[in-house]
Amino acid sequence: MNINIIDSRRISVIGFSLLFAYLLSFVFEGQVLYSLTEYYEVSSTNFVFAAIVAHFIGLFSCGYFVKTPSAAKSAMLYSIAVSLAGSIPFFLALPFLWTVSLVVCALTSGFAVAAWGQFLKSCTPKNERIKTCADVLIYSNLLMILINLSAVHLSPFWGLGCSIVVLLLAGVFTALLPVAGEQPAVTGETSMSHNLREPMLYLILFVVIITINSGLMYQVFNPAFQHLTWLTSWYWAVPYIVALIIMRNLPGKVKRSYFLYVGMAMIMASFIAFMLLDRSASSYLAVDTLMLGACGIFDLFWWSIIGEMLDYTDNPVKIFGVGLSANVFGVLLGGLLGSSITLLNISSASVAVIALTVICITLAILPLLNRHLVMLLSNHTYLLAFASMEEKQQNSIVVDTVLLLNPLTDREQEVLRLILGGNSNKAIAAQLSISENTVKTHVKNIYSKYNVSSRAEIISTLLKNQLPD
């Protein structure tokens, strides 16, 4: 493997881990924020929900403005600089300024996280993205634990200072990310191409619903065990990290999809345990281990799936940002639900029933999601196999498959070959020196002759029986 790719991946992982540690420890319901509000004896509720909404907006909207590698790097650097400035007011006893500052930090950090999608695609080889996603989640949570400990056991200002230092280092490594000579990817028709839209929608729906339980956890579990500060300050993310390490290092033959059902069972068990057990340290260990272990399984699942989807788009920032915004939206819904439960003083048994209902809904969605993902990613495997072949082998496949059905013209065969190589209509037009409308006409004719309606279908039809298993 090219040493530059290895170095780029390492820089990308370190830089984003530092950025994400800042986000987890401070902006996004972080212990630093809670410690500060407790120190100044102000309610954290409004700050928390304002930050979640702003972070969602940043994640969701970034891809509509940032569309090239250089723009992605600039967005990350500017966002980090603004977040650094926005963190300073929290050293002052001016809580009335905090809401604006926190919203700015959450919004800009959302931009930075979404923009990193560009470097997840460009700095990590396709078959390594699940490891990259696992690495950044593991390292960022380890850093978060250290920052949390400083905030709880030293002072909130120590924690805030550590989070700012971490963010500053994130800026240093982000500045090292390579963009020179890179061009925007052109592997999809649009940023939401036909073959990507449905799997993405199902994934978003699944993530939003399953993540409601995370929001419930923040608003229901955490307050119930807040008297165990010495334990919650460091153990909270440990099961999450352990689950990530296990999932990251599973043998390739193991079907990770089975672990989604294990994760759902763990979530159900955590809410049942919360309902039946007391609020002792041992009960916290049981509840947190089950819930956060499941969160580790699910987070790596959708992060890695989104990472794979980046090969289908010319705007990875948009896909990555929209995908992760679904997670934040689910946390927001769960948090609002949890706050309502707290205000209405609903029993833990009722909370468990609500959580189990959420799980039942996700169980109904999972087969549909799996079907769409299998179709998408298996086709992606075909594309990778086709792209790795020598030109003679590629031409042979095109000729053999053309003879199976209606013959194609010479130009249509050229277009078909480029389709199989994963090129967009725009890229095909550029390579063949014809207009994009002419390409669309050829594509339409090819679809008609093979009785298909999308790239995914024609790739599956032509390559499934041609490429080795």
Report the candidate in 80, 79, 69 with the shortest Cα–Cα distance to residue 117: 69
Report the pLDDT value the prediction gives residue 382, as an integer from 0 to 100: 46
Judged against a pLDDT cut of 50, whether residue 198 lies above it is answered with: yes
Cβ neighbors of 410 (< 8 A, separation 6 or more) are: none
Cβ neighbors of 337 (< 8 A, separation 6 or more) are: 212, 215, 216, 219, 354
Query: Hey, what CATH class is 1-184 in?
Result: mainly alpha
Residues of the chain with pLDDT > 70, as a percent, come to 74
- Better pLDDT: 260 or 27: 27
Instruction: Name the least confident of 147-151, 161-165, 385-389, 455-459.
Output: 385-389
The single-letter code of the amino acid at 35 is S
Per-residue buried b or exposed e for 134-156, using 16+ beta carbons within 10 Å of the residue's own CB: bbbbbbbbebbbebbbbbbeeeb
Average pLDDT, the chain: 80
Per-residue buried b or exposed e for 279-302, using 16+ beta carbons within 10 Å of the residue's own CB: eeeebbbbbbbbbbbbbbbbbbbb
Backbone φ and ψ of 203, nearest 5°: -65, -45
Tens of pLDDT, residues 316-332: 899 899 989 988 888 88
- Better pLDDT: 142 or 449: 142
CATH 1.20.1250.20 residue ranges for the chain: 1-184
Tens of pLDDT, residues 276-321: 888 899 998 998 899 899 889 888 888 888 888 887 777 889 989 9
The hierarchical CATH code for the domain 188-374 is 1.20.1250
Sign of the CA dihedral running 113, 118, 122, 128: positive
CATH 1.10.10.10 residue ranges for the chain: 389-463
Q: DSSP states of 39-70 as a string? A: HTT--SHHHHHHHHHHHHHHHHHHTTT--SHH
The hierarchical CATH code for the domain 389-463 is 1.10.10.10
Rg of the chain taking only CA atoms, in angstroms: 24
Judged against a pLDDT cut of 60, whether residue 121 lies above it is answered with: yes
Sign of the CA dihedral running 366, 128, 185, 63: positive
Distances in Å between the Cα of 222 and the Cα atoms of 227, 284, 421 are 10, 9, 50
Distance from C-alpha of 358 to C-alpha of 293, rounded to nearest angstrom: 18
